[in-house]
């Protein structure tokens, strides 16, 4: 069962240097892990609103996950709400750290409406507390208009400064052993990108290797962290996940839906799914909801905690 924590409407002071693009980390907020052109560092304002220059930068940001690539400038209200959610997520994670020493969590967001598929969240990554204090998120993003995905390490501000469908965060705290193993990976760029596979499909087959979507990278990276000696490839990671009982979400997508998605979007493909499943309208893929349920069921993490930001 999820614990819902309603959030205050008022934001406090700035929440992290990482979200403001400060610090000397070579992989600071908004910078990719794979050497593609870097995002412009964004100078956040302290009170939740940003300048028009920030809005222009955000409107041109090239990578997304969990929502469409529709080109539109974020309004001041969108920026303020995203910043508030990020700030209060930081406060909640800092409270977890103070209470039990938490340093890594699975952190998700609701980038688009997936209610018709019975899903609440669209995208997750691994958030970890840096030695300097701020939380950062390692996650995979799709470059808009392409079938390619890259890895990013961002502050919480950038993670939530998107045109979210619902201003709600969800996180799950892994067990101390899982946190320790994940932290060792997240602090090592080479290990973080070890299972990164650039070809991207939003609905990539859970047990396939042709494509890799955002949530799939995060889940397979967990497998590599847990068994570093024996999990070094994607097929080995998937074998471990099957052994541990992970169950993907099965989407019911008919032929017209599949055809429309494939024709209209570069980042949607179905040719990696087995014919017997694809042609019976069963598309099995990795989702945030299925990962959170499995983490708790496998006793790898606690119950998900929901943070709701109100107007």
Q: Render pLDDT for 135-173 as a digit per residue (tens, 0 to 9).
A: 999 999 999 889 999 999 999 999 998 779 999 999 999
Torsion sign (Cα): 132, 135, 141, 143: negative
Q: Supply the range of the domain harboring residue 154.
A: 3-308
Element (H, E) at 123: strand 123-129
Q: What was the pLDDT predicted at 119? A: 96
Q: What was the pLDDT predicted at 63? A: 57
Q: Which of 303, 285, 126 is nearest to 218 (CA)?
A: 126
Q: Tell me which residues of the chain have a pLDDT lower than 70.
A: 1-72, 256-264, 310-311
Summarised one tens digit per residue, pLDDT across range 112-139 is 999 999 999 999 999 999 999 999 999 9
Q: Is 311 helix (H, G, I), strand (E, B) or coil?
A: coil
Phi first, then psi: give them for residue 33, nearest 5 degrees: -95, 0
Cβ neighbours of residue 151 closer than 8 Å, sequence gap 6 or more: 32, 33, 34, 138, 139, 140, 141, 192, 193, 196, 217
> In whole angstroms, how far apart are CA 176 and each of 94, 179, 194, 269?
16, 5, 23, 37
Q: What was the pLDDT predicted at 254? A: 74
Q: What was the pLDDT predicted at 161? A: 87
Model pTM? Answer: 0.80
Q: Which of 37, 163, 151 is nearest to 109 (CA)?
A: 163
**Tokens 């222009």 sit at which residue?**
56
Task: Provide the domain count of the chain.
Answer: 1
Cβ contact 168:81 at 8 Å = no
What does DSSP assign to residue 231? -
């Amino acid at each position: 069962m999820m614990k819902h924590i309603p959030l205050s409407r008022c934001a406090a002071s700035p929440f992290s240097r990482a979200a403001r693009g400060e610090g000397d980390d070579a992989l600071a907020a908004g910078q990719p892990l794979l050497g593609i052109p870097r995002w412009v560092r964004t100078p956040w304002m302290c009170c939740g609103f940003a300048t028009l220059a920030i809005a222009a930068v955000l409107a041109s940001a090239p990578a997304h996950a969990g929502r469409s690539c529709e080109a539109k400038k974020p309004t001041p209200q969108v920026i303020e709400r995203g910043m508030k959610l990020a700030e209060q997520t930081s406060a909640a994670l800092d409270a977890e750290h103070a209470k039990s020493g938490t340093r890594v969590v699975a952190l998700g967001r609701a980038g688009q409406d997936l209610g018709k598929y019975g899903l609440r969240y669209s995208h997750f990554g691994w958030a970890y507390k840096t030695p300097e204090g701020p939380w950062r998120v390692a996650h995979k993003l799709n470059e808009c208009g392409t079938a390619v995905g890259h890895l990013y390490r961002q502050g919480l501000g950038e993670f939530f400064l998107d045109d979210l469908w619902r201003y709600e965060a969800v996180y799950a705290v892994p067990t101390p052993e899982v946190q320790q193993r994940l932290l060792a990976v997240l602090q090592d760029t080479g290990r973080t990108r070890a299972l990164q596979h650039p070809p991207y499909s939003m609905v990539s087959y859970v047990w396939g290797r042709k494509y890799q979507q955002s949530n799939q990278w995060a889940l397979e990276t967990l497998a590599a962290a847990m068994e570093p000696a024996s999990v070094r490839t994607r097929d080995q990671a998937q074998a471990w996940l099957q052994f541990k009982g992970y169950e993907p979400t099965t989407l019911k997508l008919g032929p017209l839906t599949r055809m429309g998605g494939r024709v209209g979007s570069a980042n949607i493909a179905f040719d990696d799914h087995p014919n017997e499943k694809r042609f019976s309208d069963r598309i099995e893929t990795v989702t945030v909801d299925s990962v959170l349920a499995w983490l708790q069921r496998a006793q790898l993490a606690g119950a998900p905690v929901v943070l709701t930001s109100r107007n």
